[in-house]
Each structure stands twice: as structure tokens, then as C-alpha cells.
Amino acid sequence: VCSEGVTRLVILDNGTVNHQQYIDEVLPVALKYGNNVFGDDWMFQQDSAKPHTHKLSQEWCNDHFPELIDKDH
């Protein structure tokens, strides 16, 4: 969800999402949507769910998103 609307819904088959599924299946959708709507002038924010705060998820976000509000803010 953002000021310009909502992203495409990502439906996952199993009930629990781990960090690797989040990195592989969810984050690329958010990145593509953000870049298409805002170019390179936008910021990604997530809550503190375990897949979001995992070290590898944080690294992926730092490497790919133009700006990130990380888990410590």
C-alpha cells in the first residue's frame, strides 16, 4: 500500500512465510511496483515480522531499494 494505490497481491501456497520466500517472491514485486510508480525516488518500509527483520532480508532490501526504513527505526 502506498500513496499511489496498492501493489499486486502476492499469494503464497503455504501458511507461513520464511525469509527466503519473502526475498524470492515478495520483495521483487514490491521493488518492481515502486520503481514503476516512483522511479528511484521512494522509500520502502516494512513491519517487524520475522521474515522482514531477518539479516538476509535486510541485506536484500539495502542492496535493492532506493531507500529503506530499516528494522531499527
Spatial distance between the Cα atoms of 7 and 32, rounded to a whole number of angstroms: 9
Please provide the distance, in angstroms rounded to a whole number, between the alpha carbons at the two ends of the chain.
Answer: 19
For the segment 58-68, the average pLDDT, to the nearest whole number, is 95
Query: By residue range, what is the domain housing residue 33?
Result: 1-73
Model pLDDT, residue 1: 63
Note the helical H segments in 1-73: 19-21, 27-38, 50-53, 55-64
Domains in the chain: how many in total? 1
For residue 52, pLDDT beyond 80: yes
Q: Residue 22 CB: number of other CB atoms within 10 A?
A: 23
Of residues 27 and 10, more confidence is placed in: 27
- Residue 44 backbone phi and psi in degrees, to 5: -100, 135
For the segment 38-64, the average pLDDT, to the nearest whole number, is 94
18, three cell numbers: 520464511
